[in-house]
Structure 1
Amino acid sequence: MTAPRLIVGLGNPGGDYEATRHNLGFWFIDRLAAGLKVTLAPQGKFFGHAGRRDELWLLKPTTFMNRSGQSVAALARFYKIAPEEVLVVHDELDLPPGGIRIKQGGGNGGHNGLKDIQAQLGSPNFWRLRLGIGHPGNRNEVINFVLKPPRREELDEIDRALDRCLIAWPKLAVGDYATAQQALHTKAV
């Protein structure tokens, strides 16, 4: 079991994007940082807001989604963090609101943040915590959809999913992804 050393939440910086579906990764990092009592502060050399507790880094890139890899790679290279020690938390169109999946490696599913991280790290072997936002039903509507806030009923499901992720955090923190997967992939935790 390889414990994560870097947890990255994906999103877009700025107040215009704060409440949008595309910022679920930021939402998770904010909740995790509060729970761990980690302060996130601007870190210019890492192109984001970062904070540390022991050997664990939390990161919210401020590069905008399609350049997330610049931030992730800068911190990972500086602290010699391998892709297998990185957990990226992001919104997922292919899961319903409240759906959660965790996996290592694989494709990027057209997610520009994941695509850039793969390119910058030179590997797809990082872990992904995929938080469902649902799909608008028409792929021409995807950009508009992810850059809007979730509807009230979706937000309730997303909040419950984030709570489940925090409950599973102790398993994720030690690299026990199999047990965390079982807990996260089952609605009742």
Structure 2
Amino acid sequence: MKLIVGLGNPGKEYASTRHNAGFHWVDCLADELKILLKPETRFQGLYARVTREDTDLCLLEPQTFMNRSGQSVAALCRFYKIQPDEIVVVHDELDLAPGAAKLKWGGGLGGHNGLKDIVTQLGTKDFWRLRIGIGHPGDRDAVVRYVLHPPGKEEAVMINEAIDRSLQLWPLIIQGDFQSAMLKLHTQ
């Protein structure tokens, strides 16, 4: 892998919302790697590059708001000549219960506006996704309000557990060993 993108919305008012699960995941990985993401205007996001031993990896948190995430991702991909199959996008997932995390290749967008914009900008759905379950409010009309608010205490604990569990697999993901990563993540 060459790029891990965490999706979310910039700003303090969104920091603890369900929609920012991807940002939270990337922040935790950056902490583990002891690196700091910094603003990078050419990529319209918070960015860090990790070059160690056999690792050459970019971390990105688009600061364009969710609906324009693809602009940031595409700018970085053009600059470093990163192909879509070298990308993992970490995002919140309404169709998974809090506490669940799933890794998948391509597929549908599930109405996720961040994914929609990435697909539009890259011209393909063929990239890896790490889906962090946040649950569904039960009513389509309540989705926007739901994702833009923090989860309750119990749900927050479950979401954080899913993030922690999936973070343990980042070495496999970086190596491109997605089959082993999926087996471990999906059987826990």
TM-score norm. by structure 2 comes to 0.96
The Cα shift of 1:113 comes to 0.2
Q: Is the contact between residue 69 and residue 118 of structure 2 (CA under 8 Å) also seen in structure 1?
A: yes
The equivalent residue for 2:186 is 185
Does residue 1:36 correspond to 2:33, yes or no? yes
Give unpaired runs (5+ residues) of structure 2.
none
Give the Cα separation in 2 of the matches to 1:79 and 1:157: 35
Give the Cα separation in 2 of the matches to 1:170 and 1:42: 25
CA displacement 1:50-87 (0-9 Å, x = unmatched): 00101200000000000000000000111000000000
Give unpaired runs (5+ residues) of structure 1.
none
Give the Cα separation in 2 of the matches to 1:75 and 1:167: 26
SS at match of 2:26: helix
The equivalent residue for 1:118 is 119
One-letter code of the match for 1:52? R
User: Which aligned pairs between 1:91-170 and structure 2 lie closer than 5 A?
Assistant: 91-170=92-171
Structure 1 residue runs of 4 or more that deviate by more than 4 Å after TM superposition: none
One-letter code of the match for 2:7? L
SS at match of 1:16: helix
CA displacement 1:14-43 (0-9 Å, x = unmatched): 000000000000000000001112210000
Give the Cα separation in 2 of the matches to 1:15 and 1:185: 32
SS at match of 1:8: strand
The Cα shift of 1:167 comes to 1.1
RMSD: 0.7
Q: Which of 4, 20, 24 lines up with 1:23 in the alignment? A: 20
Give the Cα separation in 1 of the matches to 2:18 and 2:186: 20
Give the Cα separation in 2 of the matches to 1:167 and 1:87: 15
SS at match of 2:184: helix
Query: Identity across aligned pairs (percent)?
Result: 59
Which segment is superposed worse, 160-169 or 26-35? Answer: 160-169
One-letter code of the match for 1:17? Y
Give the Cα separation in 1 of the matches to 2:151 and 2:58: 28
TM-score norm. by structure 1 comes to 0.96
